[in-house]
């Protein structure tokens, strides 16, 4: 029987280093990582996004996560996951489709790294809420707790985040 794939979900508000950390960790562990589907999707969208777009993004992210899980021999990193899409939909449109609620409960992510808001905001055309970082951080934390997810908060400089994440992953790999 092949070894079980261990999954790490990197989550949290905008501009907290999710993509940077996902790539660093994947390189360090020589593992698979799934980039944020929304970034490429929105870059090719020549109009404001809609609720249907965000739902499409959620389905695209889920499909890529499932594909990586099937192909990764031992370890895969998700540079964002479905809780991010739930919060986006709920904040922007006030509702979340039932399928997404169910998919969150079936993500089976072994460890969530919740990114703290202590890094400086970096402007980006796809980022929308520079003054609501604490609000969103608290929301992510509540969602992880409500879904009974195993998570740790990762904070500090990029190097400190990498080191803290690596220690948590090493513990998980040792079990």
User: What's the pLDDT at 102?
Assistant: 93
In the predicted structure, residue 173 carries a pLDDT above the cut 60 = yes
> Residue 135 is part of a domain; what is its CATH number?
3.40.50.300
pTM of the model: 0.93
Judged against a pLDDT cut of 70, whether residue 3 lies above it is answered with no
Domain span at residue 110 reads 6-174
| Structural domain contains residue 61 | yes
Domain contains 1: no
Q: Report pLDDT digits (tens) over 141-153.
A: 999 999 999 999 9
| Averaged pLDDT, 4-29 | 94
- 47-77 pLDDT, tens digit per residue, is 999 999 999 999 999 999 999 988 867 899 9
Rounded to whole angstroms, the maximal C-alpha distance in the chain is: 49
| Overall domain count for the chain | 1
| Average pLDDT along the chain | 93
């Amino acid at each position: 029987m092949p070894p079980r794939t261990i999954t790490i979900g990197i989550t949290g508000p905008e501009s907290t280093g999710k993509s940077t950390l996902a790539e660093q960790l994947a390189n360090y562990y020589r593992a698979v990582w799934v980039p944020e589907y929304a970034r490429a999707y929105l870059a090719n969208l020549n109009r404001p996004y809609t609720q249907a777009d965000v739902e499409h993004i959620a389905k695209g992210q889920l499909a890529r996560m499932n594909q990586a899980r099937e192909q990764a021999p031992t370890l895969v990193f998700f540079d964002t996951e479905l809780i991010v899409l739930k919060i986006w939909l709920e904040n922007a449109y006030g509702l979340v489709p039932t399928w997404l609620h169910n998919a969150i409960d079936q993500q089976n992510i072994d460890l969530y790294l919740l990114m703290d808001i202590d890094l400086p905001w970096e402007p980006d055309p796809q980022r929308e809420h520079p003054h609501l970082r604490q609000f969103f951080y608290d929301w992510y934390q509540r969602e992880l707790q409500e879904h009974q997810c195993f998570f740790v908060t990762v904070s500090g400089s990029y190097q400190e985040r990498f080191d803290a994440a690596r220690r948590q992953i090493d513990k998980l790999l040792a079990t």
